Structures are given as structure tokens and as C-alpha cells.
């Protein structure tokens, strides 16, 4: 079966969550036996490597935005071009996601993941070499590799850690947000420590990816590849109303999240904050997502439906984004906390609802693929629009109406996606 999904959707906990949340019985699948014969030390090291890989999947976004004014001043690129560089990796998350399972089936998930992490390091290095064309090439390569890791990591967790899937998924999710927060906080100080070289400051993020890639390669290179014995087919999903409501909900909330990664620091700096303080605010916002990612799934599962929860979280994220544009600068720390709770809760709620809206784990996996593919395509458009609006108006405050529109449409779809119903799809 093709493996698709996001941090909270490791298939190892699909059956457990679905049984808890809905009364309709779910067809269980036998637990993977792939972990049998693996020593405790190997499993510990493999789990640690997976978490470290996740830690390297978001610095690409937040490190670039932390230095965006310096990059624009140095290269002379327009806000539109900067928006493209911010948008490209998000677009790649969706565009390349369907290819990852095919490579995993052909050469094995371990080796596909190894190649993805090593090429992520190379793409990150390439992005910091200077010329704009190489910045684009490195960004596309790194984005494609992140998409591959996004898809394969949950499948490896499900296969090799079926008894620890929920625990490892929690660490993996926290590592995603943690990596983004670290990059947002330290990239500008590193830039200044390196004699104001934005190229070196960006390229430096290739080092941790290279290190964990080498560790993963040493650990898993001798693992024998076994082709998937069973390929499933799910029909009717792309014609289902709830599936599309969940997809739009996911895409629109992701667009707000990647706006924070790509544009919040430049927005705050345009308003008058210095670069280090702006990066710290972004880091606080992203860091607060860690708490929300752990708390919201429990609330969602225990609720009769998630419609109101979705709307409240969208309101938090949208109001906080508007506050970053208009409220006094002394208050941005408080709004960063609210923003982090909203955005962290939204991704956690969206991914949990993929499980809750699915009648069985097989459909959940395919629904996750649909949501990730289309949702990230939607999410990639908004950062680009912000760059265009800034080019046309000369200010970020003109994006306020865009954020209001996103919030309203996301709330509408979130209310529908939160209803306690299953998608109408048949699995064979």
C-alpha cells in the first residue's frame, strides 16, 4: 500500500484513534512484523535518526525568511521573486509527494530516505551559493526531498515501530516545529557572526542534514529491500464533499503556517523591529505549536465533532496574523503565543480529522495523500500572492484582506470537515 501522510498520521495509530472516536467498526490490519529481529539498540538508534531527520525538514523555510531583507538588498531581487523562492518549497511538498511511494517500492524506503536526506543537504548548500538561478535550483531540489521525507517517514514508523508509533510520531511532530523555531531564532545571529554572509548562513543548514544522512546510511545501508506485497485501490474519494472540505481546510490553514515561515519576520522588520527580535518572535510562534500539537489531538478525539474546534483555531490564527500587521509592536509577543496555539492546533486538528473522517486505515492513507497533494498546492499560492501584493503596494499591510478571506473560507470548510461523518469511499 502506498504510504502517504503527515506527522500525526503515522498509520500505526490510525486504528486506535478511529476506534476511540467513532462507533462504526474499523477493519483492522495485522501489525507489521518488520521490527521482529531488530535489536533494542538498533530500534533506539533508528528512532533517534528519524526524529533527527524530521528536525531538518523545516529550516529551509524559516532560515530564508529570517534573512529575506538582506538577500533582497544583496541580490536586488524583487518581492515577487522572493515570494517565488518562499513558495517553491511549499509547492514541491505537494507536487513531489505522489512520487515518493514509487521510489520507496522500487529501491526500498530506507535507501529512498537516505538519498532524500543527502540531496536535501546538497540542495540546501546549493541555495546558499549566491546566483539566483542556483537559489531556485537548490530550493526545488530541497523541497522535493522534504516532500519525500514527509511521505516516507510515517510509513517507516508504522512498519518498524508499530508498538511505539504514537510516541515516535509525537517526537517527530515536535521535531518538525522545533527545527523551524531553531532556524528562525539563530539564522540571523549566525549571519552576523559570519561577517554578514547570507550565503554561508543559509548553506550552513546543510551540515546537520548531511550528518544525520550519514548516520542513517551507516545504520540502514545493509537493510534488504522487500517490495510491497499488497497494493490497495480506493475509489470515490475525489468525488466526496467532506474529503474536499477537509482538503481546503488543510490547504488554507497550511497557507497561514507557511506565511509565518516565509513572511512574518519581514513583516515585523518592515514595521520597525530589528532582525534578531523579529526572528525571536517567529521562533516563539513556531515554538508554541509544539504544545498545541500535543494537546489538540486529544481534544479532537474526545469531542463529539470538531467543527467548533476548527473555527476557534482558525480565528486564533487569523486574528493573530492581523495583529502582527496592525497592533502595537510591544504586543507582538502575546500575539505570537496565540498564533502558535492556533497554527499548531490547526495542523494537529486537520491531520487527526483525516483519521476520524475515514472508515478504515486504508481510506485514511489515501485521504491523507489527497489532502497533502492538493492542500500544499493551495498553500503554495498564498506566500506568492503576498509578494505580489507587496510589490504592487509597497507594504505588507495590504495583505490584510487576503488573510481575512483565508480565515473565512477556512472556517467554512473547517466547520464542514469537523462533522462526525465518514467520507464516502470504497476500498478494494
For residues 387 and 271, give the distance between their C-alpha atoms in angstroms, rounded to a whole number: 16
Q: Indicate the CATH number for domain 1-6+36-222.
A: 1.20.1250.20
Least confident stretch, 17-26, 65-74, 210-219? 17-26
For residues 421 and 242, give the distance between their C-alpha atoms in angstroms, rounded to a whole number: 8
For residue 158, the SS3 value is helix
Q: How is domain 234-428 classified at the CATH fold level?
A: Growth Hormone; Chain: A; (1.20.1250)
pTM (predicted TM-score):
0.74
How far out from the chain centre does Cα 386 lie? Answer: 20
For residues 210 and 148, give the distance between their C-alpha atoms in angstroms, rounded to a whole number: 16
List Cβ neighbours of 123 (8 Å cut-off, separation of 6 or more): 137, 138, 139, 140, 141, 142, 143, 144, 145
C-alpha cell at 284: 516563539
Determine the length of the chain: 428
User: CATH 1.20.1250.20 in the chain, residues?
Assistant: 1-6+36-222, 234-428
Q: By the 8 A CB rule, do 240 and 370 touch? A: no
pLDDT in tens, 218-265: 998 876 655 544 555 778 889 999 999 999 999 999 999 988 888 899
pLDDT: which is higher, 180 or 307: 307
Q: Tell the burial category of 230 from Cβ atoms under 10 Å away from its Cβ (0-12, 13-18, 19+).
A: exposed
Q: By the 8 A CB rule, do 243 and 423 touch? A: yes
Of the candidates 148, 117, 138, which has an alpha carbon nearest to the alpha carbon of residue 5? 148
Region 196-221 average pLDDT: 94
For residues 365 and 367, give the distance between their C-alpha atoms in angstroms, rounded to a whole number: 5
Q: By the 8 A CB rule, do 206 and 145 touch? A: no
Inter-helix orientation angle 14-21/332-356, to 10° = 90
Name 234's bridge partners.
Answer: 427
pLDDT in tens, 366-399: 787 788 889 989 998 998 899 889 889 989 999 9
Inter-helix orientation angle 361-393/241-271, to 10° = 40
Reported as a pLDDT band with limits 50, 70 and 90, residue 169 is low
Reported as a pLDDT band with limits 50, 70 and 90, residue 273 is very high
pLDDT given for residue 371 in this prediction: 85
Amino acid at each position: 500500500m502506498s504510504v502517504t501522510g503527515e506527522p500525526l498520521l503515522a498509520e500505526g495509530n490510525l486504528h486506535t484513534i478511529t476506534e476511540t472516536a467513532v462507533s462504526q467498526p474499523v477493519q483492522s490490519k495485522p501489525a507489521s512484523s518488520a521490527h521482529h529481529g531488530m535489536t533494542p539498540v538498533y530500534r533506539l538508534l533508528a528512532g533517534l535518526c528519524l526524529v533527527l531527520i524530521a528536525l531538518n525538514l523545516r529550516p529551509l523555510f524559516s532560515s530564508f525568511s529570517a534573512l529575506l531583507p538582506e538577500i533582497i538588498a544583496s541580490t536586488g531581487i524583487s518581492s515577487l521573486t522572493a515570494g517565488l523562492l518562499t513558495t517553491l518549497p511549499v509547492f514541491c511538498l505537494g507536487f513531489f509527494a505522489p512520487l515518493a511511494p514509487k521510489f520507496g517500492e522500487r529501491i526500498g524506503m530506507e535507501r529512498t530516505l537516505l538519498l532524500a536526506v543527502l540531496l536535501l543537504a546538497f540542495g540546501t548548500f546549493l541555495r546558499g551559493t549566491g546566483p539566483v538561478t542556483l537559489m531556485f535550483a537548490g530550493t526545488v531540489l530541497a523541497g522535493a526531498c522534504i516532500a519525500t521525507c514527509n511521505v516516507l517517514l510515517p510509513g517507516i514508523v508504522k512498519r518498524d515501530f508499530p508498538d511505539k508509533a504514537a510516541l515516535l510520531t509525537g517526537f517527530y511532530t515536535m521535531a518538525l516545529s522545533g527545527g523551524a523555531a531553531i532556524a528562525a531564532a539563530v539564522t540571523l545571529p549566525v549571519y552576523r557572526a559570519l561577517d554578514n554572509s547570507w550565503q554561508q548562513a543559509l548553506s550552513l543548514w546543510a551540515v546537520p542534514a548531511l550528518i544525520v544522512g550519514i548516520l542513517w546510511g551507516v545504520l540502514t545501508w545493509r537493510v534488504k529491500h522487500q517490495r510491497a506485497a499488497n497494493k490497495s485501490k480506493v475509489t470515490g474519494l475525489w468525488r466526496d464533499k467532506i474529503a474536499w472540505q477537509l482538503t481546503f481546510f488543510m490547504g488554507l490553514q497550511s497557507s497561514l503556517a507557511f506565511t509565518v515561515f516565509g513572511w512574518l519576520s519581514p513583516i515585523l522588520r518592515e514595521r520597525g523591529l530589528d532582525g534578531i527580535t523579529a526572528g525571536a518572535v517567529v521562533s516563539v510562534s513556531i515554538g508554541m505549536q509544539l504544545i498545541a500539537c500535543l494537546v489538540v489531538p486529544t481534544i479532537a478525539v474526545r469531542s463529539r465533532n470538531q467543527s467548533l474546534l476548527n473555527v476557534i483555531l482558525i480565528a486564533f490564527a487569523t486574528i493573530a496574523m492581523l495583529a502582527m500587521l496592525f497592533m502595537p509592536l510591544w504586543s507582538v509577543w502575546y500575539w505570537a503565543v496565540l498564533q502558535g496555539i492556533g497554527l499548531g492546533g490547526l495542523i494537529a486538528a486537520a491531520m487527526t480529522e483525516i483519521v476520524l473522517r475515514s472508515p478504515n486505515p486504508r481510506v485514511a492513507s489515501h485521504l491523507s495523500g489527497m489532502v497533502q497533494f492538493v492542500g500544499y498546492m493551495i498553500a503554495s499560492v498564498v506566500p506568492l500572492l503576498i509578494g505580489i501584493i507587496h510589490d504592487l503596494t509597497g507594504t505588507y499591510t495590504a495583505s490584510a484582506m487576503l488573510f481575512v478571506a483565508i480565515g473565512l473560507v477556512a472556517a467554512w470548510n473547517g466547520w464542514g470537515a469537523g462533522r462526525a461523518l465518514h467520507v464516502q469511499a470504497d476500498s478494494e
